[in-house]
Structure 1
Amino acid sequence: MDGPNKQVFYSARPEGHVAAECFSVSETSIADPADGDVVIANKYLSLDPYMRMAMLGQQGIENLNTVMGGRVVGTIAKSRHPNFNEGDTVFAMGRWEQYSCLPGTQVRHIDIGNVGWTPFLSHLGFTGLTAWAGLEHYSNLQAGETIFVSAASGAVGSVVGQIAKIKGLRAVGCAGSDAKVDYLLNELGFDAAFNYKTVDNIADEIGKHCPDGVDIDFENVGGKIFDAVFRNMNLKGRLLICGGISQYNLETPDYAVPNLLDFITKQLTMRGFTVRNHADEIETYVELARDWVAKGQLKGRETIVQGIANAPDAFIGLFHGDNFGKLIIQVDR
């Protein structure tokens, strides 16, 4: 194909907080697809916390001097795969670039009718699948139980709370601003929420909003928030470890697992998981989630940043809470 392709490269491993120096932006020509490949004109790119671990090779995804990887939605610009035609609307694990040339086997059709593009990077995509899969497979949830969600206004946490409500749970969460707490209570229907930055004691605040204790913790933050919720867990409680964004930029994590003796006395279960193990369930989840969206039971909020060259700064801001909901790049041409 003719034309330029702007790309964001991963050029230096971060030491501590990820910085602008870790990235570089350059331009090349659009690749021509080989047999079985397609070229996607990327329309939107998802920025996710897991990418920070990938930058250290902890998930075996990113190598230095390569284009950063990320989930994208867009249209087929050129196809040499029998299942795709020019103009098809698709989702893929692509890259931080304007055009991604990928094997057709790694690309999935999406129907953007009635919902638009960006939900497929948010509550109708792998973000939503992460929330659903954790609850569906590992929580052993029972109607009437209490779930606590850290980073509850974030992309994953907000979906966790909404699905929990659909399943009949009492949903309690924390967030990093009063505006985000208001969103949880008045738009998403959480039963209780608080700003963890303005309370004197996080553990006491969780206890205040969870007077009957916490049955399920859906952990996205780690650190002092995980330590605080741990103290409020009920007998035979379940802790689902999805993320630990408070620790990703630390050279040495500042919190270990709290008192292990509590695992004995409270008979707790703690389970880590990754959405990659549930990728084959995406269509099942999307069918469920579309129905919830149509009924007004599931919604998303997004922060959209314009321009692929602005992806590094937006990604850095993700770890400072600059975004509200799902962080997405609108790819320019």
Structure 2
Amino acid sequence: MQQKKLLSTAALAPFIALMASTAVAQTDDSTEAVSEHIEEIVTLGTRVKGRSATDTAVPVDVINVESIRQNGFTEFGPMLQALAPSFNFSRTQISDGSDLFRPATLRGLGPDQVLVLVNGKRRHQRSLLGLSGTVGEGATGTDFNAIPTAGIKRVEILRDGAAAQYGSDAIAGVINVELQDSVDEFFLSAQVGQTYAGDGESYQFQGNGGFSLGDSGFINFTAEYRNGEPTNRADISPFFGDRRFQMGESDTEGYMLWYNMAAPISDSVEIYSFGGYSYNEALGAGFYRFTNNPARAIPQASLKDFCRVI
């Protein structure tokens, strides 16, 4: 009986070997098919290099430069809100400094719980606190509109808490902005828009270009100018019969000059530098004050009357 059992096993050996080789061939084919569909390789959210976004333990959105340039928004914050499902960029009115520094949230958490990186390095937060009942009131956040869209190569969004890896400011997630590193390419763009109501004219002019530094180094420059006229959707005042209140976008103007540079000096040493200058100015509206309410308004009067009201 033992001899017959050994003979039957030996007889099946060629078939087992054939099945094993077929399985190996199918595995190699499937691996090649998967590797052909990998579009972006990201390292955000993991300490292991060379992993694709589909293999990470947490969801990572990758927004490339084509999607950024095909978007119709003139500011980085609204553009990112249109492309990322978990990112929200509130547009409030009559909200003090938040008319200019819009609060940005990820996964519905606070603006100061989103870690923003530029080229993998921490981006500083603004110094102005959110007030007037806006989203994230009493907290600070990152000014996304201070980053020119023409200078962005891609955006990586880690849609999960990463406080254990990046710190307590990454409770909501991490947004990494990779700056442009292209050379011998120049990009120019201009956008002009207006609302159907006839107000809110907006203008944007931006350009990007780079040059080579040595054999494998680069330096890339970005310039952008934005100008947005105010809008007003307030109703007619029942007391005065005309529009005495403003409800809409603020009057904004800003320009930005950014650069990104890197130059390797050996196989293991690289010199890099990036940064920029951003200037934004806005004129927002405030709540209407009636002149017969001295508790909320100070009418035009002499200095003696002014001190008595105070």
TM-score bracket, shorter-length normalisation: under 0.3
TM-score (norm 2): 0.22
Bigger-Rg structure (1/2): 2
Ranked by relative contact order (alpha carbons within 8 Å, sequence separation 6 or more), the top structure is 1
Richer in helix (by share): 1
User: What TM-score, normalized to structure 1?
Assistant: 0.21
